[in-house]
Amino acid sequence: MLGKKEGLELNYPWKRYFVIVLLLHLFGFAGFFVAAARDPIFWGLGMLAYSFGLRHAFDADHISAIDNTVRKLMTGRQNPHGVGLFFSLGHSTVVFVMVLAIGLTANTYLFNDEALREAGSIIGTSVSGFFLIVIGFINVAMLVRSIREARQARGGSASGEDGASSAMPVGVLTVLLRPFYRLVRKSWHLYPLGFLFGLGFDTATEIGLLALSAGAVSQSASLVGILALPLLFAAGMTLLDTIDGMMMSRAYRLSSATPRKRLIYNLVVTGVSVLSAFFIGFVQVLHLFGEKLPESWVAWSERLDFVYLGLGLVGFFIATWVLFAMLRKGARSRHAVDGA
């Protein structure tokens, strides 16, 4: 009975967050159908906006930021529910505000101003790159702890067996990063970070251009149709980012349920999380200072496709999760047979 109760407690928060995702889909597609019935151009624009959201959710910076933050919150015994949702909501807010400005003012200066685009790009890239590097350092501390637990388990230490220790290893790095730890301690704290990530203007400009093209082709394009575009974008992105946060939370919870295999699992997943955070953060910072560096230093990074990199990370985490679940199920089956 207790297990069922705990399961309900673990599953219930996700229902609330998926209600928000569902509402975004309902409002977005409702506005989309209303606008498309009057102006057929919205059939293509709406689906393109939704596909942009689905695509952008697999950007490597999204995947790395969400997965590492889920890991950090769960290690600190904090609730990770909603990390993916709030991050993508913050990111989507930038898109919605910019498209709303277009719909209300029909002012193209916002997107034609080179200085404004450059400032937004610098802010977005800086926040994205440096946040991922900092979260990477935080996960290094967690990786060190996992290695210590593995060594203790090999030596027969009780703490390594049950994995109950939750204290961070004390050192200079931990002291330096402690203020940042306090900043991100709840799921909704990812909303302002997602907003700052979104100031890169890349995806916002894509949706803005869609709205501008709708107004150019049809002078009677409705405000409802224009605002449906960022809602569809947000619906697609929040759907996949919320699922990503859910899967990672479930994966880390599964690892905590089997202490012996948890050590190996944590070493693998945390190690990949650290490497991905450092690599993606480094590439972001490299792009920030690209004009001041030799061309050979940044040429390789410009050929990287962050969407494929993000898909690769998701695929790895899913494969690791499935493999761990299969091993766990097999161990339970063997235990049941031995017990019989």
Q: What is the pLDDT of residue 216?
A: 38
Instruction: Please give the residue that has the higher pLDDT: either 89 or 339.
Output: 89
Q: List, for residues 18-74, the tens digit of each pLDDT value.
A: 899 999 999 999 998 998 888 776 777 787 788 778 777 766 667 777 777 887 787
Eight-class DSSP state of 219: T
Does residue 7 lie within any of the structural domains? Answer: no
- What is the domain extent for residue 276? 15-287+298-339
Q: What is the mean pLDDT of residues 248-254?
A: 69
Helix (H) or strand (E) holding 177: helix 172-183
Q: Rounded to an integer, what distance in angstroms lies between the CA atom of residue 259 and that of residue 74?
A: 15
Backbone CA torsion sign across 49, 196, 307, 70 = negative
**Torsion of Cα atoms, 21 then 312 then 69 then 303, to 10°:** -100
The mean-pLDDT minimum among 78-82, 93-97, 305-309 falls in 305-309
Lowest-confidence pick of 188-197, 215-224, 322-331:
215-224
SS3 of residue 211 by DSSP: helix
Q: Average pLDDT in the 181-206 region?
A: 70
Confidence of residue 333 (pLDDT cuts 50, 70, 90): low
Per-residue pLDDT averaged across 266-275, rounded?
73
The predicted pLDDT at position 189 comes to: 81
Instruction: Tokens 């919150």: give the residue.
Output: 73
- Calculate mean pLDDT across residues 270-280: 75
pLDDT of residue 4: 42
Residue 141: per-residue pLDDT: 72
Judged against a pLDDT cut of 50, whether residue 240 lies above it is answered with yes
- Lowest-confidence pick of 41-55, 95-109, 275-289: 95-109
How far apart CA 284 and CA 213 sit, in angstroms, is 30
pLDDT, tens digit, 9 for 90 and up, residues 114-133: 665 566 566 656 666 776 67
Residues in Cβ contact with 277 at an 8 Å cutoff, skipping those fewer than 6 apart: 64, 68, 132, 133, 135, 136, 139
The two three-digit tokens of residue 154, written as one number:
């090999």
Q: What is the pLDDT of residue 23?
A: 95
Q: Is residue 2 part of a domain?
A: no
**332 within domain boundaries:** yes
Per-residue model confidence (pLDDT) at position 28? 93
Q: How far apart are CA 158 and CA 237, in angstroms?
A: 43
Is 328 among the domain residues?
Answer: yes
Q: Answer whether residue 237 is part of any domain.
A: yes
Is position 100 within any domain?
yes
The number of distinct structural domains making up the chain is 1
**Tokens standing for residue 316:** 């790895």
Does residue 201 register a pLDDT over 70? no
Residue 9 lies in a domain: no
Q: Is the pLDDT of residue 2 over 60?
A: no
| pTM across the whole model | 0.59
Between 295 and 15, name the one with better pLDDT.
15
Q: How far apart are CA 285 and CA 130, in angstroms?
A: 7
* Better-predicted residue by pLDDT, 155 or 96: 96
Assess if residue 175 is contained within a domain. yes
- Please tell me the least confidently modeled range out of 15-24, 70-79, 89-98, 245-254: 245-254
What is the pLDDT at residue 136? Answer: 74
